[in-house]
Structure 1
Amino acid sequence: MIKLYGTPISPYYNKVKLALMEKGVNFEEVLTAPSQDAALLDMSPMGKIPFVDINGYALAESTVILEWLEDAYPTASLLPPGPNGRARARELMTMLELYVLAPSAPLLRHALFGRPLDDSAKTEAATAIERGLQAVARRLDYAPWLAGQDFSFADLAAASVLPVVSDMTTAVLGRDLTQQLPGRDGYWQQLAARPSVARMWADREVALQALAARRAG
């Protein structure tokens, strides 16, 4: 059995979790925080989450884990059949993570963990997120999924990234920047109707409520 280490608060964790569910792979979730503990570094050399234990074989980095899953479980592919479609799915996933999620990190640390954040940093984050969303919009192809007919790496990333950015920009900036993405609402409804996404979103909400309760206590 595959053991998935991390937390449902992490979009990178949720991306891997979605892939496992979509492929019908039997897995166990092990709640784990990032750490520089020696035992964890043996599993994840940078001490980051997520990472997996595949019957004693440790593997870190979310995209690498997705590629392993594609190789190990090719029948339920999460990449389109042709090279162009496969590249587009990977491109969109990368853009969502680098240019939409990464700039939202200061907002997330402020909203969830109370880290200081001044108005200048808010403006910088908003500008970067908006630019990233505009870049993603240039590549969208709702047919019906982000990279075409197939639910793919791009949609794993979108389902994991967009709720985080929506929540953080609403909470910290007072406006949901993901609304700028063309076709967002219809696409969001499509995602919500997919059982794997619905479960992941529900688990994420439970984890966020537990974090809020711990902070309040």
Structure 2
Amino acid sequence: MIKLYGAALSPYYNKVKIALLEKGVNFQEILTAPSQQEELLAKSPMGKIPFVEVGGHAMAESSVILEWLEDAYPTASLLPPTPNGRAHARQLSAMLDLYVLMPALPLYRHWLFGSPLEAGAIEAARQQVTRGVAACAQLLDYGPWACGEDFSSADISAACILPALEQMSKALLGEDITAGFPDREAYLQRLSGRRSVNRTWSEREAALTAFRARQQQ
């Protein structure tokens, strides 16, 4: 059985979780925080989450894990069937990660953990995320999914990033910094109809509620 290490508050963790659910793979979730302890570094060399363990072999980095899942479980593919379609999904997924989620991470960590923000961090994140959303919009091809007819890794990235950043930015800034994502509400409604996404969203909300309760103790 695959062991998935991490926490439901991490969009990267949820990417892997949705992929596992979509593929119908048996897996065990093991709540794990990022760490620089030797035991964790032996499995995730940068001390990051998520990582998986399969038959004693560990793999880190969510994009790498998703690629491994495609190789290991190809019959329930999370990529379109053609080379161009697969490249399209990979490109959009990478752009969502790099240019929408990554610039917002300082704000996300501040919202969750109270991590300090550098001067100008909020405005910088707002501008970079807005630009990233506009760039991603050029690649969208709803049909009904982000890259056409096939639910793909690009949809998984969107499912994990857009709601998390909406919740964070509304609480922190009073606005949704991902609001420029085209047909956003209708698309999120379609995503909510996927059992894998709906379950992951529900379990993330439960984890957030429990985390906030512990913070207040």
Residue in structure 2 matched with residue 176 of structure 1 by the alignment: 176
The structural deviation recorded for 1:211 is: 1.2
Distance in 2 between residues matched to 1:116 and 1:33, nearest whole Å: 19
Residue in structure 1 matched with residue 53 of structure 2 by the alignment: 53
Residue in structure 2 matched with residue 93 of structure 1 by the alignment: 93
Residue in structure 2 matched with residue 37 of structure 1 by the alignment: 37
Distance in 2 between residues matched to 1:167 and 1:119, nearest whole Å: 22
The question of whether the paired residues in 2 share the 8 Å contact of 1:89 and 1:152 is answered with yes
Distance in 2 between residues matched to 1:60 and 1:118, nearest whole Å: 29
- Please tell me the residue identity of whatever aligns with 2:65: I
Q: What's the TM-score, normalizing by structure 2?
A: 0.97
Q: How does 1:61-210 map to 2 (within 5 A)?
A: 61-117=61-117, 120-210=120-210
- DSSP 3-state at the match of 1:4: strand
Distance in 2 between residues matched to 1:150 and 1:18, nearest whole Å: 15
Distance in 1 between residues matched to 2:118 and 2:5, nearest whole Å: 33
- Please tell me the residue identity of whatever aligns with 2:76: A
Show CA shifts across 1:146-199 (max 9, x none): 011101010110001111111111111110122211111110000011100000
Distance in 2 between residues matched to 1:205 and 1:184, nearest whole Å: 20
Q: Structure 2 stretches of 5 or more lacking a match? A: none
The structural deviation recorded for 1:120 is: 2.0
Counting aligned pairs with the same residue, the percent is 60
- Please tell me the residue identity of whatever aligns with 1:94: A
Q: Which has the higher helix share?
A: 1
The structural deviation recorded for 1:200 is: 0.2
The structural deviation recorded for 1:118 is: 6.1
Distance in 2 between residues matched to 1:130 and 1:65, nearest whole Å: 28
Distance in 2 between residues matched to 1:118 and 1:170, nearest whole Å: 20
- DSSP 3-state at the match of 1:43: coil
The structural deviation recorded for 1:67 is: 0.7
The structural deviation recorded for 1:116 is: 3.0
Q: What's the TM-score, normalizing by structure 1?
A: 0.97
The question of whether the paired residues in 2 share the 8 Å contact of 1:104 and 1:168 is answered with no
Give the paired residue count. 217
